[in-house]
């Protein structure tokens, strides 16, 4: 479960390293909590520096500190109950950045993601991840 003002690691190659959740985009009954597969609005807190050669290219994805982006939660510290009764939890909170068309901003994912993403309609993220738990 992710609450507002939570810090999440970014596990794609979009250029962002950490983001802060500022809004959770889902039903109003959630009371401000987000779980795996939920879409959030976040602000980039730390990003990789952009070199001069990459900055001039047209196709470069430029994510800078302070950018407001949408993201999908892919891992949470809070245990999530599966339909078969098991609880799954991870060591950190993590997200993958999206563009305005709800497509991934990066082209690769560098870490484990939750298999619950498939039930929420994020199969593309699962297919690019090295491992799903």
Q: Specify the pLDDT at position 4.
A: 83
- Output the average pLDDT for the chain: 89
- pLDDT per residue as tens digits for the range 42-89: 999 999 987 766 666 655 567 999 999 999 999 999 999 999 999 999
CA distance 57 to 42: 26
User: What CATH number matches the domain at 6-132, 2.40.150.20, 2.60.40.420, 1.10.8.50, 1.20.1260.10?
Assistant: 2.40.150.20
Is 113 within 8 Å of 93 (Cβ atoms)?
A: no
CB hemisphere CA count around 12 (13 angstroms): 23
pLDDT over 90 (residue 29): no
Return phi, psi of residue 115, to 5°. Answer: -70, -15
Do 99 and 89 contact (CB within 8 A), yes or no?
A: no
Running DSSP on this structure, what letter comes out for residue 124? H
Q: Which residues pair with 86 in a beta bridge?
A: none
State what percent of residues in the chain have pLDDT above 70.
89
For the chain, give every domain's residue range: 6-132
């Amino acid at each position: 479960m992710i609450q507002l003002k939570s810090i999440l690691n970014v596990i794609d190659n979009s250029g962002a390293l950490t983001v802060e959740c500022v809004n959770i985009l889902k039903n109003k009954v959630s009371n401000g909590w987000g779980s795996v597969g939920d879409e959030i609005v976040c602000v980039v807190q730390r990003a990789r520096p952009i070199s001069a050669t990459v900055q001039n290219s047209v196709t470069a994805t430029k994510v800078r500190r302070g950018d407001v982006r949408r993201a999908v939660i892919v891992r949470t510290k809070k245990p999530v109950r599966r339909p078969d009764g098991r609880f799954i939890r991870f060591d950190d909170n993590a997200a993958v950045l999206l563009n305005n068309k709800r497509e991934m901003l990066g082209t690769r994912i560098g870490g484990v993601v939750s298999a619950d993403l498939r039930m929420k309609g994020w199969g593309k993220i699962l297919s690019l991840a090295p491992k799903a738990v």
